[in-house]
Structure 1
């Protein structure tokens, strides 16, 4: 299917769908992308955290529904706001995007067609997701398509999933949100399906490292280091989380923690944040504002 395809069948299928984009400190290109998405003829909801830092909001309002948060409420809360707005407007399918994702209409239609087909077969579907392809890996160590089943950006939720699984777990704030929601969906008998024919170019992490011959994206932000470590410890204690995922992610902390310290934009803050993350993760407390 060509990305410019606007046949009656394709348009009818898209009529029940919407797009939700979460933004924080977006650049001009990120804001321009919202208008490009709206040109597809699909409703777009933009949830902007810390709206006071964003210019050009008036130019967006004609094409895009803007949910404005005066401060950064986190990715999970923003997703819940955007999905809720789209579902309340009657959408059956909602595509979730980060601000730096650049989907194609082909990708959107592939996800939509797969979701519609699965539901037509009478199966309970929570969401479908594309393969993510890291632009940095494509430019550096070659084409890298992640095999993780789900990532927040690019996931298309169904109305059935939203109603039966419930909202994203907001205290997670930013990391692990997609994994927790999908494991919760599976525990409630719904399917989560990876659509390999749908590919989304996306920036994973701030940069990449070559670890034992494999490309790995990594974050440099001390704040992200806090949430990744704390949330891994939180999720490892949840009964609906897969034992395989739990053990694998805990094992990964053994190399992630030193990698974060080495790659950090502020090593002393990362060390302090990781120590706080371990304390908060083990003690199940919620430090909302890591330094």
Structure 2
């Protein structure tokens, strides 16, 4: 995609956790089009065979969480002089159009004077009914804007994987919050970016295949994305922590307060490990109320 703007080579950050050969191959492909950083959260591993020499490899030798890993990768890209960072999970499958178009669009809009922190694609998850809408916060409910057409969509939140972050705003907004560890890391950063006067822009004509959540379950005829019991701990704990913060919009808080009891009901109806899912969610709720953050 040509925008007439000189676009510096973007960077990319991929977070590894027990990667397989396909993950390594995807990172090598990214290195052909971006300055690629792999941050490895796999415990007791300090080397991965098969990575291209052009990939910057940062082994943590432990699971330090998604926030810390992204911060490490972004800081390296800043030292390399990158102006934009594409962020990916290890199983993300971006197209060449994705890798070229998002940094180009971001550069074009910023050059035109737009204050944009991050741009993100539409996400196609066939398990959940296809392309997911973009999200805006409204009292007690999320407003869902269909990812359709050729016009950018202003959103209140964009998920990390597949998005392209404007590194010129990094020092203004600040890094991702390490203590959140995993869930709501991207949401909290997006809230801070909007408070600092930046826009979050969805790009509906760029689509990336991405599984939103874990393996879905059917409850009362509806499909819900699920996670492990440990992820449900972080989900409840971090939601409670953010609900207690003054800068987080009440519109989002009200939505989470409505969702929480429904989530517990869904966990209690799961076909297996229901007690563990409910127990970990309640433990997360207690730790959130006590202000306990960081790694479980």
1:276 has 2:283 as partner = yes
In the alignment, what sits opposite 1:125? 116
Equivalent of residue 134 in structure 2, options 147, 155, 161: 147
Deviations 1:155-194 (A, max 9, x none): 2111222111010011110000111001101111111111
8 A Cα contact 1:44 1:64, kept in partner: yes
Which structure shows the higher helix fraction? Answer: 1
Equivalent of residue 19 in structure 1, options 5, 12, 27: 12
In the alignment, what sits opposite 1:4? none
**Distance (whole Å) between structure 2 residues aligned to residue 18 and residue 234 of structure 1:** 32
Post-superposition offset of 1:228:
0.3
In the alignment, what sits opposite 1:217? 225
SS in 1 for 2:39: strand
In the alignment, what sits opposite 2:42? 50
Indicate how the Cα distance of structure 1 residues 27 and 60 shifts in structure 2: closer, same or farther if over 3 A, else same.
same
8 A Cα contact 1:93 1:158, kept in partner: yes
Equivalent of residue 77 in structure 2, options 62, 83, 86: 86
SS in 2 for 1:123: coil
Structure 1 portions without partners, runs of 5+: 2-6
Structure 2 portions without partners, runs of 5+: 136-156
Post-superposition offset of 1:21:
0.5
Deviations 1:27-59 (A, max 9, x none): 22111111121222x11100010253587x142
SS in 1 for 2:279: helix
In the alignment, what sits opposite 1:183? 191
Compute the TM-score of the two structures, normalised by the length of structure 1: 0.86
SS in 2 for 1:132: strand
8 A Cα contact 1:131 1:198, kept in partner: yes
The two structures, once aligned, show a CA RMSD in angstroms of 2.3
**Distance (whole Å) between structure 2 residues aligned to residue 58 and residue 17 of structure 1:** 25
Post-superposition offset of 1:144:
3.3
**Distance (whole Å) between structure 1 residues aligned to residue 131 and residue 266 of structure 2:** 20
8 A Cα contact 1:208 1:215, kept in partner: yes
Number of residue-to-residue matches in the alignment: 275
SS in 2 for 1:52: coil
Alignment of 1:1-291 (within 5 A): 1=1, 13=7, 15-40=8-33, 42-50=34-42, 52=44, 57-137=48-128, 142-148=129-135, 149-210=157-218, 215-219=223-227, 221-263=228-270, 266-286=273-293, 288-289=295-296
8 A Cα contact 1:26 1:54, kept in partner: no
Choose between structure 1 and 2 for higher RCO, CA contacts under 8 A separated by at least 6 residues: 2
Indicate how the Cα distance of structure 1 residues 32 and 127 shifts in structure 2: closer, same or farther if over 3 A, else same.
same
Compute the TM-score of the two structures, normalised by the length of structure 2: 0.85
8 A Cα contact 1:225 1:260, kept in partner: no
Indicate how the Cα distance of structure 1 residues 68 and 102 shifts in structure 2: closer, same or farther if over 3 A, else same.
same
SS in 2 for 1:271: helix
SS in 2 for 1:60: coil
**Distance (whole Å) between structure 2 residues aligned to residue 110 and residue 260 of structure 1:** 40
8 A Cα contact 1:24 1:49, kept in partner: yes
8 A Cα contact 1:226 1:276, kept in partner: yes
Moved more, 234-243 or 68-77: 234-243
**Distance (whole Å) between structure 1 residues aligned to residue 182 and residue 58 of structure 2:** 18
